[in-house]
Structure 1
Amino acid sequence: MYRLHIANKNYSSWSLRPWVLMRALDIPFDEILHPFPEQGAWDQYRQFAPNGKVPCLQDGDLTIWDSLAIVEYLAEQHAGVWPGDTAARAWARSAVAEMHSGFQALRSTCGMNCGLRIELPGLSLAVQKDLARIDELWSQGVSRFGGPFLAGSQFTAVDAFFAPVAFRVQTYGLPLSAIAQAYSETLVQLAAMQQWYQAALLEPWRESAHEQEALDAGRLLADYRSA
C-alpha cells in the first residue's frame, strides 16, 4: 500500500495534486497528514521526505518526493494518469510543467485557503498576466480535446495540477472567461475535490503565516471552517 504524506488540506496546494489524482483514479493509499508547524517544518518533514517538504510518497522501501516526480512514478504503475492520446498527452505534460514551475505572482498573492472567501481590492499586472495565461490554457484544453476535463473526457494528471487553482478561484472570486469558469466549477464539484474540501473545513489547525497571507490579500468575507 502506498503511503502519501501531506500537510493541511486547507492550505497545502502541493499535497492536493497527488492526493486528488490518486483518489479520482481509485489508486489505494494510506494518508499521513502532518499539520504545518509554526516553525521547524523542514526539520519535522525531513523525518520522511529528503527535501523536507510535502507531498512525499512511500512505496515499500522507495521514497518519491516532489509532486511531479510522484505523478510520473504513479504513471509507470497505473493506467490513466496521463491521457492515452499522443497529442493530448504531449499538451498535458507541457501544461503540467508550466504549472509546476510558473505562476509565482498568483501563488504568492492568492495562497490556497479553502475555507475562506476573500474580496480582493484589485489584481496586480503580474497576477492578471498569470490568470490570463491560466484562462488561455484551460480554454484551449477544453476546446481542443472536447472536455469536460483539460485533456478530454477523463480526469488526468493535468487536471490534478490545476486543482489548487480552482480552489483559489473559489476563495478569491478570480475572474475567468465562461469556458474557464465552467471548467473550474467542474473541478471543484469533482467527488474527490469535495472530499478534500469538506475535510479541510473540519481541520482544527491554524498556522499563522498561511492565515496572514490570506488576510493580506484582501477583505475577509466569510470563514466556512467549523473549528
Structure 2
Amino acid sequence: MFSFEHKKAIVTGGGSGIGKAIAMALAKNGAMVHILEMDVAGASQTVDEIKALGFKAEAHACNVADQVAVNAIFEQIGNIHVLVNNAGIAHIGKADNTAEDDFDRVMNVNVKGVYNCIKAAIPQLRQSGGGVILNMASIAALVGLADRFVYSTAKGAVKAMTMSVAKDYLKENIRCVSISPARVHTPFVDGFLEKNYADNKAEMFDKLSKSQPIGRMAKPEEIGYLALYLCSDEASFITGVDYPIDGGFTTLNN
C-alpha cells in the first residue's frame, strides 16, 4: 500500500517543518521527490537526509511567486504525478494594521505561488495520465483566528482554488485536495516564541498547545502521513475536499 514507485513528486517549501515531513514520507514510499525552496540550505539538508536513507530526492532553488522560474523548473523536471503546494509565509495583524506591502507579500507567496505551481503542473500531470494536487490550507480558512487577517484571506483562497481545480480537471484524472492543519510544532513556532516571548517561552508553548482540545500541537510527521494517503492511489476516490487535521479545534472548541 501507499507505493509511489516510478512516480515523481514536487513538494514546495520542503526544507523544514510540514513540507520536510511530506517530502520524507513520499520519498520513503518510493517517490522521486523534487523540493522547491527559497531556503536552499534547508532543502539540501532534507535531500541529504532522504538520500542517506537510500531514497531519491533533488533540491531546486525557487521562489514560487515567480512564474517564469516556476515554469522553467517544472519543465526541467518533466512529467510529474504529485504536486504538494506547501510553501507559504505567515503574518500577524488585523485588517487596519496590515501594511499594503505585507498584504501583497503574503498573497504573492500563499496564493499566487499556489496558482503558479498548479498552472505549471497541469501539463505535466496530463503527460503522466493524471495525478494529484495537494494544497496546504489551514484552519484559518475555516474559523476566525485573531490577528491573522491576510493569512486567513490567503488560506481561504487556497481552499477555494482546491475546489475549483478539482472540478475543472475531474475528467482528466487529476485530483485536487487540501489539508487544513491547526498548530503544528515546527521550527517556525520555535522561532516565533523566541522572537516574541523570549522570557516566557515555556508558558506560551503550553498555552498554544492547549488551544487544541486534544491538548498538544500536531507533529509534522502526522501531517505527512495524511498527505501520503491523500496523494496515494488508495485515495483515488477522494477529490474536491478539505481535510482538517486539528486536534478537534474546529469542532470541539466550544
TM-score between both structures, scaled by the size of structure 1:
0.34
* Structure with more contact order per residue of length (Cα contacts < 8 Å, sep ≥ 6): 1
TM-score between both structures, scaled by the size of structure 2:
0.31
